[in-house]
Amino acid sequence: MIVVKFGGELLEESSRLQTVVSAMARVASEHEPLVIVHGGGKEIDAALKRAGIEKQQVDGLRITDEATLETVVAVLAGTVNTRLVAALAVAGVAAVGLTGADGGCGLSDTAPPHRAADGRTVDLGRVGTPADHADMRLLRTLTENQFVPVIACIGLGVDGRLLNVNADTFAAHLAGGLGARRLVVAGTTPGVLDGQGATTPLIGLEAIERLIKDGTASAGMVAKLNACAHALARGVAEVVIVDGRDRTALEGASLGTPPATVTRIAQAPVGRTS
């Protein structure tokens, strides 16, 4: 099982979308179960601006009030998910569009107040944290029948209310719950960058905390690194952070042959393996 998460910035422009779709068509052709999770940050930001709603974030996490949530759901479940599923279908991938509300796969608890990197305690509002008892049966049924679930990062609260879930966190939780051997996190950043701006090809869990504490990791990368650590803690063998604009790197990261231009995170960084 491979879980691939795409940042929304890869799904807006037609050229980037085609790169993503072509790579996933290749991965799907290898006949290993594949699950795709996506966000839609920039399109959500644009929709909020059109609606006159202020964007609020902390450590790369979106603070979500009721009005913001309505916009998040409309953009993720409607515009972005449908666009990606349609493009995959044209490329011959048997994609099925979902949200975390489908089959309870994204059952979530309301997130507790967030302790920010700067020491503040922030109420995130209608934000969810994936629950350990989320139901993976629908996703297993689909993948066992050669379908590719494409999931918008919207959670389902136990009270039936929808919740905004960080896409990296959502993907990491699904990867653990499904017993995936690899989680690929694709955006427009070429892996984890060191203090000189160079990609770090291989790091271990101990490096994640250090990168966050010393400020090397940017606000957006903090959420990604925390999600990576969560995936590894739930049994995922490796996590790869890759620039999704590079088709060759994206395919290699997904299929277990990551190039040196990506960052591979493993329990113990003893060598590069597939």
Taking only the tens place, the pLDDT of each residue in 96-122 is 999 999 999 999 999 999 888 788 999
- Cα atoms in the Cβ-side hemisphere of radius 13 Å centred on 43: 21
Q: Which of 168, 189, 166 is nearest to 239 (CA)?
A: 168
Q: Which of 73, 40, 44 is nearest to 161 (CA)?
A: 73
Angle between helix 41-51 and helix 66-73 axes, rounded to 10 deg: 130
Query: Which region among 85-94, 130-139, 208-217, 219-228 has the lowest average model confidence (pLDDT)?
Result: 208-217
CATH class of 8-20+34-170: alpha beta
Q: Which of 33, 166, 172, 17 is nearest to 80 (CA)?
A: 17
CATH architecture of the domain formed by 181-274: 3-Layer(aba) Sandwich (3.40)
Q: Kind and range of the H or E element at 240?
A: strand 238-243
* DSSP codes, 136-190: -HHHHHHHHTT-EEEEESEEEETTS-EEE--HHHHHHHHHHHTT-SEEEEEESS-
The pLDDT value recorded for residue 272 is 41
Residues of the chain above pLDDT 90, percent: 71
Domain segments of the chain as ranges: 8-20+34-170, 181-274
What does pTM read for this prediction? 0.91
Q: Kind and range of the H or E element at 38?
A: strand 34-38
- Where residue 249 falls among pLDDT bands split at 50, 70, 90? very high
Dihedral angle sign, alpha carbons of residues 202, 207, 209, 213: negative
> Phi and psi at residue 42, in whole multiples of 5°?
-65, -35
The pLDDT value recorded for residue 258 is 87
The pLDDT value recorded for residue 203 is 80
**Beta carbons of 111 and 129 less than 8 angstroms apart:** yes
The pLDDT value recorded for residue 219 is 61
- Where residue 220 falls among pLDDT bands split at 50, 70, 90? low
The pLDDT value recorded for residue 216 is 65
DSSP label of 112:
P
**Beta carbons of 61 and 169 less than 8 angstroms apart:** no
pLDDT(215) > 90? no
User: Of residues 209 and 79, which shows the higher confidence score?
Assistant: 79
pLDDT(268) > 80? no
Identical fold for domains 8-20+34-170 and 181-274, yes or no, is yes
